[in-house]
Amino acid sequence: MSLFRRSPQKAVISTATRRTAKDLRLGETGTICCLEDPEMALKLLEMGCVPGVQVRLSGRAPLGDPLMLVLGDQEYTLSVRASEAATILLKE
Amino acid sequence: MAVTASSSATTASQTGPEADARPLRIALIGNPNSGKTSLFNQLTGLNQKVGNFPGVTVDRKTGVAQLTPTQRAEIIDLPGTYSLYPKSLDEKVITDLLYDKAADNYPDFVVVTVDANNLRRSLLLFTQLGDLGLPAVLALNMMDVAERHGVNIDLPALERELGVPIIPMNARKGIGVAALKIVMAQRLDAPPVGFWQPDEQLLPLVRQLRYYFNLHNDYLALHYAQQYRQISFLSAEEKAHIQELVQQAGFDATTAQAAETISRYARINEILLETVTVVRTEKREPISNRIDKVLTHRVGGYLIFLGILFLLFQAIFAWAQYPMDWIDQGISGLSAVIQANFSGPLVRLLTEGVLAGLGGVLVFIPQIALLFGFLAILEETGYMARVTFLMDKLMRPFGLSGKSVVPLISGLACAVPAIMGARTIESWKDRMITIFVTPLMSCSARIPVYTVLVALVVPDQAAWGIFNLRGVALMSLYLLGLFSALGSAWALKKLLKARERSYFIMEFPVYQWPRWKNVALTIYQKVKAFVLQAGRVIMAISVLLWVLASYGPGQQQATAEAQARREATTKGWDAAETSRQVASARLETSYAGKFGHVLEPAIRPLGYDWKIGIALLTSFAAREVFVGTISTIYSVGQDADMGTLQQKLSAEKDANGQPFFTPARAFSLLVFYVFAMQCMSTLAVTYRETKSWRWPLAQLIYMTGLAYAAAFVVYQVLA
């Protein structure tokens, strides 16, 4: 499994079906599959957004952005912008 | 160079702690929110050195810890970080310190603080430090919380796996600190365990770098390959050489770093599988998440934030008034006692120069203490992180990010640490805009000017039932500063070309009660810095000013005095009025008066006279000097009048005998002080943070221009 999918067009999953952390509904949980954007990925990895880890959307800022993501089993809360959450692909 | 350093390190460890010439040097490192600051405060107490002013670096907070009755150690507090790959300037300090074994400050070993609830992520940094070959102790913090959450850690097994001593602790309560000190007092060896090895195909590159720079391990060499551009001690030549090697090897830093991180996590998962079991006892959401539901609520979140800000202003302007009055009266009382019992030029220098200047400084201690205390509490509780979350989207249209809110709010205290606080902003453009506009936020140095002038022209009465009219005026000045900062940021966003993307990935610290010891320490340090740093400048200027205001060129003063006395006889003034006129004539012909008169044509359109001109000139170095200057100027020669500064200013008359400080003049001055860049320290720190004179110069010209224009409009409209 490669970590990055540099261009969504060439990705195995078609753009129509791929889900990201941004698409989670409030309270819904997903599992991180891979990180799409190499530059963002480094930061996210160090903050614990590692493939295989569970991620739950626990809240949104009053204006809808940024998002509050809970990583792992209630381990800790990360705040990311919606555009950044969109680079975290989820397992189907 | 590296050889000498390592050989001396060996000698030191052979001779042992008893025969040591220099104290141990220990660096404290860990993730943000891992309890590093608490531990630092526990270890060092009041023996801390924090440089918050130019010339002293704020990068490294240091302190002295008494480990055993006979052994002391120097503790270096490093900024919180998630890995050894710096993302922001803030984190670069760490690699600068740890890359160069020959450096003066290279630590003997590191204490890694780790949140026991968050072992996986915390160990990422730890394994990186281990692979750099640094001797380490693991301070396993927040054990109490971990136990409550059902996290069970097999300490002996984890110690074996990591190869370093582990001290379980609760830094907030000081539990485990004694045990940590005992371990710290011993010389430690680097962990024998390697956690991660660079890939086979990277080895040729790594070996070449090791040989060229004479490095002691592979992982350090890999870091050179990753970050040579940012390593401050490498010469341009050396950087070019690394670049060549890196290109030859076809090394891609981003992919390599991502692969490293993933495989480190794999190794950490293995370790944790053996040593940690989690039995979740409660399935309920953590309290912190439930608090977040309230504090980051769609509507409630902003209302609470506004409420907190309002409370802050109330505290600074209403509660601080009482201790301020005591200090003010104490100083003028002391001055009166001295003047009643002694006389002569030296006594006048003491009362009109030194004491007047000192009073101008000391009186603001309550407000500064309250402001920094408040900010420390917001930071300590974890609320500040939520503020950045709430504000991110609101700030983005202005070219700022949520993270800019912290510098902007800190700017209410002092722009100097606030501008340094902008280091946590990763994007260059966001950071430059934040640095540029932060000085527009009304800092505590403006408080003296605001308080004095507002009290002079705004009546002390209630407005709309609950508010105090003076409070409203002050709040308006702060809002004026805020809106000018936002507007300037927006304009700058249009002007600047972005070089990189801005991002906002941040951990939310768990809510906790503020550690009052930390809050008290912050207040103590800030007040001390204010009194010593600002105090010195103000005292020096006050004394100089007193001399300039008391003496003049040639016989001019004597002539003017004689003239005033003649006039007094012809117009039949009483004794008090005569001495006032004489003093005024002397001041006008003094050296200070001359300077003021030279400046007067330039500031007359703003409504100011030569006396204010002197104050503007001196307060260019630092705003708070304004009040000191004013009190010195209005004190000179007025030995009969022992009143406070407030009374002196109200008594000031213009040429027609009307009160000089009309609302038009006072508001014009207030607006001038809202905008003007009158702070050498800020200019110096902007230069240091941006590494170019373009930014401080632009700030100076822009803000002074804005101040002049705004003050002009205010005076012309109101007068």
Nearest-CA distance from B407 to chain A in Å? 19
Do the chains contact at A62 and B296, CB–CB below 8 Å?
Answer: yes
Do the chains contact at A79 and B389, CB–CB below 8 Å?
Answer: yes
Choose among A42, A46, A62: nearest Cβ to B254.
Answer: A42
Q: Is the pLDDT of residue B499 over 70?
A: no
Give the whole-angstrom CA distance, residue A9 versus residue B417.
Answer: 46
Band of residue A3 on the pLDDT scale cut at 50, 70, 90: low
Question: Length of chain B, please?
Answer: 719
Most B CBs within 10 Å, among A50, A57, A83, to test the B interface: A50
Band of residue B487 on the pLDDT scale cut at 50, 70, 90: very high
Q: What is the mean pLDDT of residues B594-610?
A: 89
B428 in contact with chain A, both atoms CB, cutoff 8 A: no
pLDDT, residue B327, reads: 87
Give the whole-angstrom CA distance, residue B390 versus residue B296.
Answer: 7
Give the whole-angstrom CA distance, residue B136 versus residue B91.
Answer: 19
What's the whole-number average pLDDT of chain B?
83
Nearest-CA distance from B197 to chain A in Å? 18
Give the whole-angstrom CA distance, residue B512 versus residue B519.
Answer: 13
Q: Looking at per-residue confidence, does B388 or B17 come out higher?
A: B388
pLDDT, residue B355, reads: 81
Residues 6+ apart with CB under 8 A from B56: none
Residues in chain A within 8 Å Cβ distance of B505: 40, 43-44, 47, 78-80, 84
Q: Determine the residue of chain B that is closest to A27 in CA distance.
A: B285
Band of residue B639 on the pLDDT scale cut at 50, 70, 90: very low
Mean pLDDT highest for which of A55-64, B255-264, B431-440, B614-623? B431-440
Do the chains contact at B261 and A42, CB–CB below 8 Å?
Answer: yes
Among the ranges given (B79-93, B236-250, B536-550), the one the predictor scored with the smallest mean pLDDT: B536-550
Q: How many contacts does A have with B, using Cβ atoms within 8 A?
A: 117
B292 in contact with chain A, both atoms CB, cutoff 8 A: yes
Which tokens hold the place of B455?
């009290």
Do the chains contact at A75 and B118, CB–CB below 8 Å?
Answer: yes
Rg (C-alpha) for chain B, rounded Å, is: 30
Q: What is the mean pLDDT of residues B53-61?
A: 46
Residues 6+ apart with CB under 8 A from B234: B228, B242
**What DSSP state is assigned to residue B118?**
G
Give the whole-angstrom CA distance, residue B208 versus residue B211.
Answer: 5
What are phi and psi for residue B72, nearest 5 degrees? Answer: -115, 155
Q: Looking at per-residue confidence, does B400 or B23 come out higher?
A: B400
Among the ranges given (B131-145, B239-253, B541-555), the one the predictor scored with the smallest mean pLDDT: B541-555
Among the ranges given (B146-155, B166-175, B647-656), the one the predictor scored with the smallest mean pLDDT: B647-656
pLDDT, residue B23, reads: 80
Cα B74 to Cα B66, B136, B161, distances in angstroms: 9, 15, 29
Cα B545 to Cα B592, B621, B676, distances in angstroms: 7, 14, 22
Residues in chain B within 8 Å Cβ distance of A58: 289, 292
Residues in chain A within 8 Å Cβ distance of B257: 42
pLDDT, residue A36, reads: 86
Give the whole-angstrom CA distance, residue B657 versus residue B628.
Answer: 25
pLDDT, residue B283, reads: 60
Residues in chain B within 8 Å Cβ distance of A4: 255, 258
Give the whole-angstrom CA distance, residue B459 versus residue B468.
Answer: 9
Q: 3-state class of B351 per DSSP?
A: helix
> Checking phi first, is residue B55 left (phi over 0); if not, alpha (psi -120 to 50) or beta?
left
Band of residue B634 on the pLDDT scale cut at 50, 70, 90: confident
Do the chains contact at B297 and A62, CB–CB below 8 Å?
Answer: yes
Residues in chain B within 8 Å Cβ distance of A46: 82-83, 85, 121, 124, 261
B663 in contact with chain A, both atoms CB, cutoff 8 A: no
Give the whole-angstrom CA distance, residue B614 versus residue B595.
Answer: 7
Count of CB atoms situated within 10 Å of the CB of A31: 12
Choose among A41, A73, A81: nearest Cβ to B504.
Answer: A81
Q: Is the pLDDT of residue B347 over 90?
A: no
pLDDT, residue A31, reads: 92
Residues in chain B within 8 Å Cβ distance of A75: 117-118, 120-121
Q: Determine the residue of chain A that is closest to B258 in CA distance.
A: A42
Q: Is the pLDDT of residue B167 over 80?
A: yes
Buried b (16+ CB within 10 A) or exposed e, B585-604: bbbbbbbbbbbbeebeeebe
Instruction: For chain A, give the percent of residues with pLDDT over 70.
Output: 79
Do the chains contact at A65 and B402, CB–CB below 8 Å?
Answer: no
Among the ranges given (B13-17, B47-51, B133-137), the one the predictor scored with the smallest mean pLDDT: B13-17
Band of residue A56 on the pLDDT scale cut at 50, 70, 90: very high
Give the whole-angstrom CA distance, residue B193 versus residue B202.
Answer: 21
Count of CB atoms situated within 10 Å of the CB of B693: 11
Nearest-CA distance from B85 to chain A in Å? 9
Q: Is the pLDDT of residue B325 over 60?
A: yes
pLDDT, residue B34, reads: 86
Q: Are B506 and B432 in contact (CB under 8 A)?
A: no
Q: What is the mean pLDDT of residues B526-545?
A: 76
Q: Determine the residue of chain B that is closest to A57 in CA distance.
A: B289
Q: What is the mean pLDDT of residues B144-173?
A: 89
Choose among B124, B259, B302: nearest Cβ to A46.
Answer: B124
Residues in chain B within 8 Å Cβ distance of A73: 278, 280
The per-residue pLDDT for range A69-86, each reduced to its tens digit, is: 998 866 788 999 999 999
**What DSSP state is assigned to residue B622?**
B
B88 in contact with chain A, both atoms CB, cutoff 8 A: no
Q: Is the pLDDT of residue B333 over 70?
A: yes
Give the whole-angstrom CA distance, residue B403 versus residue B388.
Answer: 5
Do the chains contact at B507 and A68, CB–CB below 8 Å?
Answer: no
pLDDT, residue B705, reads: 95
B99 in contact with chain A, both atoms CB, cutoff 8 A: no
pLDDT, residue B145, reads: 82
Nearest to B449 by CA among B682, B629, B643: B629
